[in-house]
């Protein structure tokens, strides 16, 4: 199970995406685009997950 929190990436925001990797990537991307105005690529968010997991 994967998990990304906006707060971990410098946002003053309580949003958390949690679940299957593909779902987390899409939810986090959609949220950061719609709420924070940042359109992260799928590859960038995948790297966030890999780094967080120490891979």
DSSP sequence for 17-54: EEESHHHHHHHHHHHHHHHH-----HHHHHHHHHHHTT
Strands 2-5 and 16-19: antiparallel
The two three-digit tokens of residue 49, written as one number? 């997950």
Cβ-based neighbour number of residue 41 at 10 Å = 9
Give the span between the Cα atoms of 28 and 16, in whole angstroms: 8
Instruction: Report pLDDT for 35.
Output: 97
pTM over 0.75: yes
The residue written with tokens 């990436």 in the block is 9
| Tens of pLDDT, residues 2-53 | 999 999 989 999 999 999 999 999 999 999 999 999 999 999 999 999 888 7
């Amino acid at each position: 199970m994967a998990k990304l929190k906006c707060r971990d990436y410098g946002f003053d925001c309580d949003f958390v995406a949690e679940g299957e990797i593909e779902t987390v990537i899409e939810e986090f991307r959609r949220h950061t685009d719609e709420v924070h105005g940042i359109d992260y690529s799928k590859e960038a968010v995948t790297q966030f997950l890999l780094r967080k997991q120490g891979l």
